[in-house]
Copies of this chain bind each other. A is one copy, B any other.
Amino acid sequence: MTFLDTILGKPLRSVDERAEHIGPIAGIPIFGLDALSSAAYGPEAALTLLIPLGMAGIAHIVPISAAIIVLLGIVFFSYCQTIDAYPNGGGSYTVASENLGDGAGLLAAAALMIDYILNAAVGISAGVGALVSAFPQMQPHTLALCLAILLILTLINMRGVKDTGIAFLVPTYLFIGSLLIVIAAGTVRVLFAHGHPAPVVAPPRLPPGISLLPLWLLAKVFASGCTAMTGVEAVSNGVQAFGEPRQKNAKRTLSIIIALLMVFLAGIALLCRAYQIGATDPTSPGYESILSQLIGAIFGRGIFYYVAIASILAVLALSANTSYADFPRLTRAIAMRDYLPHVFIIRGRRLLYSHGIFALVGFTAFLLIVFGGVTDRLIPLFAIGAFLAFTLSQAGMVVHWKRQGGAGSRHRMWINGVGAAATGVTTLIVLVAKFTEGAWITAILIPLLILAMSSVKKHYARVDRETAVDRPMNIANLTEPLVVVPLDKWTRISEKALRFALKLSDQVEAVHVDAEDCGDQVCAQWETNVAAPFRATNLPAPKLTLLQSPFRLVLMPLVDHVLLLEANNPHRQIAVLVPELVVKKWWQTLLHNQRAQLLKLLLLVRGNQRIIVINIPWYL
């Protein structure tokens, strides 16, 4: 276990749990990375759609960013109220299912699961994308780099929440610091230059273009820009992870995150307009991200540029970490209601829901492989899940306040109502605007996931119903089982199996399937080694049965024989003893036991309640 300990940290006792609780300083990297890093791809995604409009298109980014900031403000107030109402973690799933019923809860669950998985995939691929645009020679290894980062993140996260916070503190604050410096310095220069600053490194020149923005394009630009808002629900979902005073710490963390994100979005939009910075085509060789252009224009390509770019790369890649913190909590909450396999409830060595992490990593790897690790192809699938969850959460809160009643509840209902309406409309815009580009995949996946979760619930309910006990145990009729021992040739292994059989029951039958024409030999061995010693005693002797096999099959005649025995003895259990060689080296397993494994499988598939398989291990 020492190797595992070194990599993953020592196992934690249940009583150590409280020590894992965190404050705002550690909370921002853990729950804010997702939201904050979105600033690096949200505006870029919006501006990319404005490329056809040329230089004239850049101006539109300011009103669109303003709309997104207003939406962000509405969502902020809504989520503060959720934190107040749900001190134990009010994720969209909990809020929706408690207030709007199981159906809405499942919808939120499906939307959130997809959102978290996509967040991990987009974060990693955007980080690698930025790295690759800085070092084009790494382009052919995009997917391999994505998977390597996924592996590193997984190892870090398997150590637990607290270690993770420390590992992510430095890059997060470096990112926040450098972006704030860029925006502050840029704003000062713009003011000094009366709105027309001279760039240090000039961004690529854009064609003049047309200023007319069709409504359809406006909707698409807004929908793309909204990806900047993904991840803001993380805090309300993870209130439980904060130290006391819990809600206050959580709200403080959320306020800081939202305020920073607003500053980033406003700053980037205004500076892009002032410096005339537009997006460049990510598929053509001259591609440069807008943040790279912006920093170059304000500070030139000095040390600061490289530090800032490195922190953006790191934060983008690490933003996937929010998924690691929240996805396992979400699947656990769903599994507690029987909608997902119960393995998601089990906590592992470091107080984490390890299976949730495995599932997240598996699906993220799948997405990365299918989409080749390219962010552009993943973005259209993305915002819809997040906004659907926002909407359901806010709508649930409306019902919550209505049920609670009392002073101030009407006021609070209104705030969440506005939030629900705003995010609901946004969800529709995103769905329609991005439908053909990939949102249809999410639109299909969500009902499929809901169906799957309902099936799981139904299955568990059925198992519980069928296995529930409503009376004390039946202790009558405890007759020994009939025991069948398959016999190939007489060895010490068969001797061990037969001895064990005789310990269990007086009615033991050894069965030899005569596929190789050596039945006489087996009979002779049996006579000498088994029948003879038993004749000398008055113990109940085992009997030997020879089965013919004209088609040289060994297993089917055996299984048929067991089934026949079972049919002829309706009130007895049949125990089949399967000897198995336990070997020390992996390759030796190729030399043995293939028949034993197959026999066990056949007996399980074709057998029934009264047929029991007993493994007799033989250690070399």
Contact = CB atoms under 8 A, between A and B. Distances in A.
Contacts of A616: 612
A343 B593 CA distance: 10
B613 A607 contact: no
A240 interface: no
Contacts of A435: none
A539 B492 contact: no
Contacts of A347: 552
A238 to B, nearest CB: 21
A614 B617 contact: no
A504 B502 contact: no
26 contacts: A14-B552, A341-B591, A342-B591, A347-B552, A455-B587, A463-B592, A466-B492, A466-B620, A467-B493, A469-B490, A469-B491, A469-B492, A473-B495, A473-B533, A475-B534, A475-B539, A478-B502, A480-B504, A481-B503, A496-B609, A504-B504, A580-B604, A600-B615, A604-B617, A609-B618, A613-B614
Nearest to A462: B620
A550 interface: yes
A587 B448 CA distance: 14
Interface in A451-475: 455-456, 459-460, 462-463, 466-469, 472-475
Contact of A612 (B343, B605, B614): B614
A410 B535 CA distance: 61
A563 to B, nearest CB: 14
B492 A612 contact: no
Interface in A518-548: 528-530, 532-534, 537, 539
A303 interface: no
A283 interface: no
Given A15-B550, A552-B14, A498 B478 contact: no
Contacts of A591: 341-342, 456, 459-460
A582 interface: yes
B529 A472 contact: yes
A619 interface: yes
A573 interface: yes
A356 to B, nearest CB: 14
A440 B328 CA distance: 52
Contacts of A533: 472-473, 475
A497 to B, nearest CB: 10
B493 A480 contact: no
Contacts of A468: 491-492
Interface string A9-23: 001111100000000
A511 interface: no
A614 B615 contact: yes
Contacts of A612: 500, 614-617
A609 B615 contact: no
Given A14-B550, A551-B11, A530 B472 contact: yes
A474 B530 CA distance: 9
Contacts of A478: 499, 502-503, 539
A349 interface: yes
B582 A604 contact: yes
Interface string A574-605: 01000011100001101110100000100011
Nearest to A347: B552
A573 B500 contact: yes
A436 interface: no
A608 interface: yes
B581 A463 contact: yes
Given A462-B620, A496-B609, A537 B341 contact: no
A515 to B, nearest CB: 8
B472 A13 contact: no
A126 interface: no
